[in-house]
Amino acid sequence: MDGTTAVVTGASRGIGKAVAAALADAGAQVIVCARDTDELEAAVGAISDRNGEVTPFRADVRDEFDVERLMETAAEIGGEIDAVVANAGVYHGDAGQTPLTEESYAAFDDHLRTNARGAFATLRESLPHLADDARLIVSSGSIARDTYPGYGSYAVSKAAAEAVARGFSEDTDYVVGVVDPGQVETELTGGTGHAPADVAPQFCWALDEAPAEAVDGEVINRKVWRQAES
């Protein structure tokens, strides 16, 4: 991905941080954002000395004006944007312990505002700055499609985020899809699952090597990626 420009949201930790590092390893100019400036700068420091460059930009995906400035800055730094990863997300409560019947309105609203509306803002505000062959990815999980007890409005928000991706796939000429990396070692999973660095190549594949028709409007899960790479 030498010479390309990528934007990754929610990049201060976990999947976002690992994806940013992998894209930089591949030679991309990566602009990353998160809400916590200190965590974001620490993450960028931890992924220095790559083939590409990583630039931090403090932004809250719940604020479309923040996201607008993020995309403008990315275009100023790297020119047209070639890849966008809408990864920022939150979970209020302990995973699997937040049934919808007991969900607070505040948690419901913020899950939707961050995980779904945030993905919408990320894709929408990138549009004026995209290269013709740009690819846009929304990070998700099986919780968006399969039924598990206790995941409440988080599951609702992820289903909505995937619907956002499908909508942009239909309403634009860009390749827009969803990456589902399976269970990953993050705060959400209590540190169990695949290491973030092990799933980052799945995102890179979807952004660069995968046939456009395999990504556009589709869900790239771990099985699909493994079969394609074998």
| Residue in the block written with tokens 């695949």 | 194
Q: How far is CA 75 from the centre of its chain?
A: 18
| Residue in the block written with tokens 């399976």 | 182
Q: Where are the domains of the chain?
A: 5-229
CA distances from 41 to 28, 84, 185 (A): 18, 20, 21
| Digit-coded pLDDT (tens) for 79-109 | 999 999 999 999 999 989 999 999 999 999 9
CA distances from 122 to 71, 83, 88, 142, 190 (A): 8, 12, 9, 21, 27
pLDDT of residue 230: 77
| Digit-coded pLDDT (tens) for 104-152 | 999 999 999 999 999 999 999 999 999 999 999 999 999 999 989 999 9
Percent of the chain clearing pLDDT 90 (strictly above): 87
DSSP 3: T
Distance CA 65, CA 61 (A): 9
Catalytic positions are 142, 154, 158
Show the tokens assigned to 173.
């000429």
In DSSP notation, 191-209 reads: S-SB-HHHHHHHHHIIIII
| Digit-coded pLDDT (tens) for 15-58 | 999 999 999 999 999 999 999 999 999 999 988 777 779 999 99
Q: How confident is the model at residue 186 (pLDDT cuts 50, 70, 90)?
A: confident
Show the tokens assigned to 142.
């099986």
Of 32-36, 121-125, 212-216, 226-230, the range with the lowest mean pLDDT is: 226-230
Write the CB contacts of 143 (distance below 8 Å, at least 6 apart in sequence). Answer: 151, 154, 155, 158
Class of domain 5-229: alpha beta
| Digit-coded pLDDT (tens) for 163-177 | 999 999 999 999 999
Show the tokens assigned to 1.
């991905």
pLDDT of residue 190: 65
- The pTM of the full predicted model, rounded to 2 decimals, is 0.95
pLDDT of residue 189: 64
pLDDT of residue 50: 77
The total of other beta-carbon atoms located within 10 Å of residue 91's CB is 21
Residue pair 127/172 in contact by the 8 Å Cβ criterion: yes
Q: Greater confidence, 225 or 191?
A: 225
Report which of 166, 115, 120 is spatially closest to residue 143, judged by C-alpha positions.
115
